[in-house]
């Protein structure tokens, strides 16, 4: 494990866009909601204003469970800029959810719920590793970014 400073842990905050408002409201409430096509029932991420399949009408937002498998991952190392440099190296994974096949949600991998980004090293992670969603809120941040805890 990588040791980090004892001060407040910086959170890697994404850029916001209008199609994702419901996603961010839900994570702030401790729920993972994903877009689903109302015609085909297929889940997708990132959110979009309309389904990429079916009749392209507005999507449904559906709460999904927080269990899945690492589909892909990267170990991020310096040199980086800003908030990213403060927490590197860290592992970010693309996770396929058990109850939303085809939808893959990205987020950092952490050692336990509430642990700092960078608390897991790359040698602890592998494709297919089982993970559980962590929506631990940091009161200093406006957004709750999904993180993944190794099982």
- 70, part of any domain: yes
- 9, part of any domain: no
Number of domains in the chain: 1
Q: What Cα–Cα distance (Å) separates residue 143 from each residue in 69, 102, 124, 137?
A: 24, 25, 27, 8
- 10, part of any domain: no
What pLDDT is recorded for position 139? 60
- 5, part of any domain: no
> Residue 35 — φ and ψ, nearest 5°?
-75, 140
pLDDT tens-digit map of 24-76: 889 989 999 999 998 899 999 888 888 888 777 788 999 999 999 999 999 99
Strand order in the sheet with 60-64: 43-44, 32-36, 60-64
Task: Quote the domain boundaries for residue 74.
Answer: 18-150
- 85, part of any domain: yes
CATH classification of the domain holding 74: 2.40.50.840
- 135, part of any domain: yes
pTM value? 0.83
């Amino acid at each position: 494990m990588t040791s980090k400073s004892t001060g407040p842990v910086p959170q890697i905050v994404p850029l916001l866009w209008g199609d994702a408002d419901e996603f961010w409201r839900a994570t702030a409430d401790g729920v993972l909601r994903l877009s689903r096509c109302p015609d085909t029932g297929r889940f997708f991420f990132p959110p979009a204003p309309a389904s990429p399949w079916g009749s392209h009408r507005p999507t449904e937002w559906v709460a999904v469970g927080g269990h899945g498998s690492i589909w892909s991952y990267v170990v991020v190392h310096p040199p980086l800029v800003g908030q990213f440099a403060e927490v590197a190296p860290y592992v970010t994974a693309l996770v396929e959810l058990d109850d939303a096949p085809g939808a893959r949600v990205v987020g950092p991998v952490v050692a336990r719920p509430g642990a700092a980004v960078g608390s897991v090293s790359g040698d602890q992670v592998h494709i297919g590793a089982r993970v559980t969603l962590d929506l631990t809120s940091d009161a200093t941040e406006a957004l709750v970014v999904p993180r993944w805890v190794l099982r």
